[in-house]
Amino acid sequence: MKKLATMIGQVISHYKILEKLGEGGMGIVYKAHDTKLDRDVALKFLPTNLTTDPAARERFIHEAKAASALSHPNICGIHAIEEFEQQHFIDMEFLEGKTLGELLKEKELSLKEIVGIVLQIAQGLNAAHKKGIVHRDIKPDNIMVTSERLVKIMDFGLAKLKGSSKLTRTHSTLGTLSYMSPEQACGEEIDQRTDIFSLGAVLYEMVTGRQPFKGEHEAAIMYSVMNETPDPLARYKTDVPDELQRVIDKALAKEREKRYQHVDEMEADLRSVIPTLSSNIKSVTRRSKVLWVVAASVIAIAVLSIYFFYPKSGPTSANSKTIAVLPFNNMNGNQEDEYFSDGIMEDILTQLSKIADLNVISRTTMMQYKSTKKSLKEIGKELNAGVVLEGSVRHSGNRIRISSQLIDAEADRHIWAETYDREMKDVFVIQSDVAKQIAAALQARLSPGEKERIEKKQTENTEAYQIYLKGRFYWNKRTAVDMQKAIEY
């Protein structure tokens, strides 16, 4: 049997191997010339180390059967499944172009280009779903964009064919973790809604240039997928219509019942966004034609405003909506309660991060300032943050006392302060109230959707919440011993 590494220039059956195109967990892909039909094709071979694995071979054959049952312009076509000297390979359509992942690394796409690409992916998925086929691994590297801008879904190697037996062990997962739905990450039974979640993750990345769920290792990514809400689009890209944010929010709903139930529903909502994008472009163009006329007046008014309308409240610096949330002081005085003060600080930071009009410094950066002796002005300057939130937490039995104050880092003066002395069951109300009060103090725009996300309770069970905070506290320490404690909690 020929080794795959030495295949280039060889003839396999009636295919001449020309070059290696790529490699993934379930196959190595070569460009080849079909000498019978005189055409270039792509051949996907099962990796040599898996040729003796019956389960891998079965899944490889399953890919061909699943994809060959589909005929759609937005799905890579399968010509045949072949075997030569015990090597299984798929003869499939050869495409000139780049993967979406490569395209995103090269340039920033316009919103119209993004929506156009995602609509084509949705159409391909819709055709697959109608035949009972779930892809299960939608990600930028599995999407090909041809030189004619035709979008093709690649690699149905992880697809689940309706009516077929499960090809994975119980609780095992297939797919790429950063794009997995919560149910897929947990190893639960999946349906077409898992592809919708993955498509939402791809759309988010196309708009922002960032994956919605991130982490330093698999456990961290899985935690993000299961628990965290991605930052609003507006934090990374201007002129994003609210309608597009709503599409992504619905596609990325943690509970699949709240997600789009069928991909054509998402497709319809995306089509309704297109006129909004067009009007945004037109309005920007119109504005650009007249801005020079009023530029001098605006500058003059701005300069005069500095002297005659100096704000009596709110921060003074230009980066007034960049906020640094310092670790809260543990007023109980013992290290055993450190988990609670850190947890409250982290949850308030998370709530503030849901407001697109605010730029919130990350938790990882802020934890470096725990017990720091630096002044708030120094911290603000180092982080380029106009405002700093500091606070303290006292926790005793069923009572909780949270004090917080928002400070103009440059002028070193208070903008807002509040003390909450409540029962433990009100902890989430306190967190959402702090976020809303800060937004108001900084004159940040708070959309109805953001307000709803901020006010949503994580749980009604405060005991479960405290155990969760302990788990997260030890998990953030990243040592083997602490990770074990985190798992126990």
The set of catalytic residues is: 137
Q: What is the DSSP letter of 173?
A: -
Distance between CA 436 and CA 438 in Å, rounded?
5
| Contact (Cβ atoms closer than 8 angstroms) between residue 247 and residue 201 | no
Neighbours of 312 (CB within 10 A): 5
Distance between CA 324 and CA 353 in Å, rounded?
11
Q: Which helix (H) or strand (E) holds 238?
A: none
Distance between CA 179 and CA 182 in Å, rounded?
10
Distance between CA 358 and CA 439 in Å, rounded?
8
Torsion of CA 285, 286, 288, 293, to 10 degrees: 170
* DSSP assignment string, 407-455: EETTTTEEEEEEEEEEEGGGHHHHHHHHHHHHHHHTT----HHHHHHHH
Sheet of 97-99, strands arranged across: 97-99, 143-146, 151-153
